[in-house]
Amino acid sequence: MQMEMDSESTATSVDENTENFCDNPTRDTIAEGLMGLIKPTVDQLVERVRATRLSQLELKQAIDSLAEELKKISAQQTSRDLDSYVRKLLNAKQRVVVLSNVLQNAQERLNKVHLSIDKEVVKRKMLLNNTVEDCDS
């Protein structure tokens, strides 16, 4: 004898459950709370990446300037002692450029996350406003 199991799913989507909002606002409140926690962190990350990129750019410019000065000094010197330092500076400059590119890619990804969060917040607020209006009607 085989028992029949109820295979009906009890999972619901946000759209299916909007009419139940008046009865159970907990889910939307939690979602808003989570978005409120995540958004400031993403905003802070975006700002810190931006500041780091500016620092990297300033460092790159300083290395360029120093390398040019060392080239001038090296050209005036008959010895080749400074060539190794110029090569080291050029290698450091190359690493700074690579790091700058990595930071730029990270900032682009963070900007996309930030945009997604903003869109989700607007969507949630509209859903919340529409549901509250439906409850008031």
The pLDDT of residue 78? 61
Closest of 44, 39, 31, 30 to residue 117, by C-alpha: 39
**Contacts for 49 with CB less than 8 Å, ≥ 6 apart:** 103, 106, 107, 110
Give pLDDT tens digits for 21-58: 455 578 778 878 888 888 888 888 888 988 998 998 89
The yes-or-no verdict on residue 97 having pLDDT over 70 is yes
**Contacts for 125 with CB less than 8 Å, ≥ 6 apart:** none
The yes-or-no verdict on residue 106 having pLDDT over 70 is yes
Instruction: Out of 16-25, 44-53, 54-63, 82-91, pick the least confident.
Output: 16-25
The pLDDT of residue 11? 46
The pLDDT of residue 22? 53
DSSP assignment, residue 9? -
Query: Phi/psi at 13 (nearest 5 deg)?
Result: -95, 170
With cut-offs at 50, 70 and 90, classify the pLDDT of residue 127.
Answer: confident
**Contacts for 38 with CB less than 8 Å, ≥ 6 apart:** 117
Structural contact between residues 113 and 49, judged by C-beta atoms closer than 8 angstroms: no
| All domains of the chain in start order, with CATH | 27-136 (1.20.5)
Closest of 44, 23, 21 to residue 124, by C-alpha: 21
d(CA 85, CA 69): 12
